[in-house]
Amino acid sequence: MTAGRYRRALAELVAEVSDGAIGAEEALAGERSLSALGLTSVARVRLVDAIEDTFGVEVGLGGDWSSLESVDALAVLVSRAAEPGDRTAADA
Amino acid sequence: MTTPEGSPARAAGATVEFHGAREGEATLTWGQRLIWRAVHLMGDSQSFLNCPWVLPVYGRRDLATVLDALRVLLERHETLRTTFHGTPEGPVQRVRRDGRLIVDLVEAGQERALRAAERIAGELSTTAFVHDSDLPLRCAVVLKAGRPMALALTFSHLAVDFQALSLLAEEWKILLRGGDPPPADWHPMDQAALEREESFQARSARSIRYWRAVLEEAPLDVFDHSPGEPEDPRFIEVGMESVALAAAAETLAGRWTISTTSVLLGACATVLATVSGRQRAVMQLVHSNRRDPRTRTMIGNVGQDGLFVLDPSPSDGFADACREAHRAAFTAYRNAHYDPFAMQAMREEIGRLRGREPDLDAFFNDRRTIGTWPGVPRPASGEIADLTANTRTYVTNAWPGVRFKAFFTVGAATDTGQLSLIADTAYLPRETARAMLLGVESLLVRALDEDVPLAAVPRVCGVGPYAGTP
C-alpha cells in the first residue's frame, strides 16, 4: 500500500480524536498544519495511539515533529513503518 | 459538617437504595493505583485528594425525583459502588451490586443555595474516606424552603477524576429531564482487564523507558536551597484570578499556533526554572489519560502523571520555550500510560543507583475541559496589560502534609484565568509563591509586545532565583 492510500483513514482518525473539532476533509486539504487546525497535545497522543492500533505499527518520531503536522506526513510515517521496503512516488 | 448560626441547618437524612447490574472484584486500574499510592503517602492529609462537586437541581424537582436520579447514577456506574481493599496479592476494587447511600438533607436558610452547596461540598471533603468500607462518595441535598436546589457531593479520587465529574454533570441534567443518558457499558473493572493486554503492557514498558532516561540525569531536587522555617500548616495554596492571564494566553496561543495549555505550561515552567536558579524545569503533568475510545466516557479515575522536561537554550526567547513546551507536553502525555506499580519499581531502582530518587514534586495541572475562556473579553493586544489592574491573589487552602514543592493548577473558571500554586513553605515562602503567579501573568503580558529573552525573565517577572532564607 502506498502512503497515499492511508490518507483517508488518517484524516478520519484526526476527526475522531479531535471529537469532530477538525473535519476529515479539512485535515485532508492540508492547507494548514494540524496544530493550526486546533489539534491539541492530548488529541495528538490519541491520534498516535489510534494509528498504532489501527495500522499495527509503532510510531517513532525520532524528534521529527513535522511528521505529526499533516495527514500527508503521517501517511508517509505509517507507510514506512508498515511497509519498510515500499518506496513509491507517494512517499516523495 | 458544621452548621454556623444563621446559615444552613441539617434538616434530616434520606436513604437511597441501589441495585446495580453487576458485582465483582478486580485488580486496580492504573489510575486507581496512582491514587492508591498517593492516599497512603499522604496519610492524614489524604483528604486533599477528595473531589468536592456540586450538581445543581435544574427546574422545579421534588425530593423524590432528585433522590431517584441519584439512585440511577449509583446503579449505572460501578465506580460509585466500589470499595478498595489491600490484600496480600495487592490492592483490589470490589464492586457492590446492592447497598444504600445515606444522604443529608440541608436547608440553605438565608444563604444562596449554590453557595451553600459549594460550602457543604467543601466541608464533606475535609474527612478522609475509609476506602475499604465507605462508598466513595458523600452527598447532601441542599434545600430552599423544602425544595431541592442542589446536590453537594464529595468523591474519593479513587473513584473519579475531574473528567468523570464533568461526565456525571451531563448525565445529571439528562436524568433530571427524565431522559435516558447514553449507555454506561465500560467500567473500571473492564479497564483493569484492558490494561493487562499486551498492547497496553507494551505502552507501559515504553513509558517507563522514557521516564527512566529522564530520571537517570534529572536534578535530585526541585530546589537546591535548604528548607527554611515553614508556616503551620506547611503547605498553602495561593490563588490568582486574572482576566489578563487568560486574554494574553489566548492571544499568544493563536499567534504561536499552540494550545493555551502549552502557553501556560511554558510560562509556569519558565518561572519555576527561574526561581530554582536553573535553565531546566522538570515537572509532572496531571493527565486525564482518556485516550482509548472505551475509556473516554467511563466514570472512573484514569488520570496519570506525565513527566515533562523543558530545557531551552539560554539564548532562546520565551516564544521558543513555549513551542518547546508544546512538544515536550506531547512527549510527556504520550508516556503517561503505565502501570504505576512497575513505574515505582523502576524509580526505586534509580534511587539505589543514584543514592536516592529524584524529587519530582513539581506539578502542573490544567483542570479546564475546554482550551479557551468563553467568558473572557477579547481586547486588543495592546489593551490586555490594563486588565492586570483587576488581578487579585489570595490564599485558598492549607494542609499539613500534601508533599508538593510547587503545584500549579489552571482552574476551570470560564470568565477569568484562574491559576493557583500549592507551595511547600519550607522552600517557597508565601510571598515568593504569590510573586511566581504574578510573574507568570507579567511574562505573558510582556510577550504580547516582544519576544522576551529568557535572560530577561527575572526582570520581566519580578522574581529571580530564590536561595532560601539566610
* Cα separations in angstroms, B441 against A20, B31, B341, B365, B462: 32, 32, 38, 17, 11
Is residue A41 included in any domain, yes or no? yes
Cβ neighbours, 10 Å, residue B99: 15
Give the distance from residue B168's alpha carbon to the nearest chain A alpha carbon, in angstroms: 19
B348 CB contacts (<8 Å, ≥6 apart)? B357
Higher-confidence position of B348 and A32: B348
Q: Is residue A46 part of a domain?
A: yes
Chain B: residue whose CA lies nearest to A45: B334
Is residue B124 scored above 80 in pLDDT? yes
B199, B291, B327 member nearest A46 (Cβ): B291
In a domain, A89, yes or no: no
Residue A77 forms part of a structural domain: yes
pLDDT at B356: 95
pLDDT confidence tier of residue A63, bands split at 50, 70 and 90: low
Instruction: Tell me the C-alpha distance between A34 and A71, whole Å.
Output: 8
Is B1:B123 a contact under the CB 8 Å cutoff? yes
Task: At B97, give phi and psi (nearest 5°).
Answer: -85, -45
Are B153 and B138 within 8 A, CB to CB? yes
- Domain housing A33: 3-84
| Model pLDDT for residues B306-324, shown as the tens digit of each residue | 999 999 998 999 999 999 9
**pLDDT recorded at residue B7:** 47
Domain annotation covers residue A25: yes
Domain membership of residue A71 (yes or no) is yes
Question: How far apart, in whole angstroms, are the C-alpha atoms of residue B414 and residue B426?
Answer: 33
**Cβ–Cβ contact A40 with B under 8 A:** yes
Cα atoms in the Cβ-side hemisphere of radius 13 Å centred on B344: 11
pLDDT at A56: 85
Q: State the count of interchain CB pairs (< 8 A) between A and B.
A: 34
CB-CB neighbours of A25 under 10 Å: 9
Could you tell me if residue A16 is inside a domain? yes
For residue A51, the domain's CATH number is 1.10.1200.10
Please state, rounded to an integer, the average pLDDT across all residues of chain B: 92
Q: What is the pLDDT of residue B9?
A: 56
Output the pLDDT for position B149. Answer: 97
Q: Is the distance from CB of A92 to CB of A2 less than 8 angstroms?
A: no
Q: Which residues of B1-20 are buried (b: 16+ CB within 10 A; e: fewer)?
A: eeeeeebbeeeeebebebeb
CB contact under 8 A, B258 and A33: no
Whether the CA torsion B394, B398, B403, B409 is positive or negative: it is negative
Nearest alpha carbon to residue B433 among B470, B400, B404: B404
Cross-sheet strand order for the sheet of B137-144: B9-19, B98-107, B137-144, B147-155, B51-56
Map out the domains of chain B with their CATH numbers. 9-186 (3.30.559.10), 198-461 (3.30.559.30)
What percent of chain B has a predicted confidence (pLDDT) above 70? 97
Of A13-17, B7-11, B88-92, B459-463, the range with the lowest mean pLDDT is: B7-11
The ipTM estimated for the assembled molecules is: 0.78
Report CA-CA distances (Å) from B417 to A38, A47, B131.
20, 29, 35
Query: Which pLDDT score, from 0 to 100, does residue B6 have?
Result: 43
Contacts of B308 (CB under 8 A, 6+ apart): B265, B269, B281, B282, B283, B284, B285, B325, B328, B329, B331, B332, B364
pLDDT digit string, tens, across residues B138-170: 999 999 999 999 999 999 999 999 889 999 999
B72: three-class secondary structure by DSSP = helix
Domain count, chain A: 1
Q: Decide: helix, strand or coil at residue B240.
A: strand
Nearest to B257 among A36, A45, A48 (CB): A36
Report whether B57 contacts B176 (CB < 8 A): yes
Residue A92 lies in a domain: no
pLDDT above 90: residue B8: no
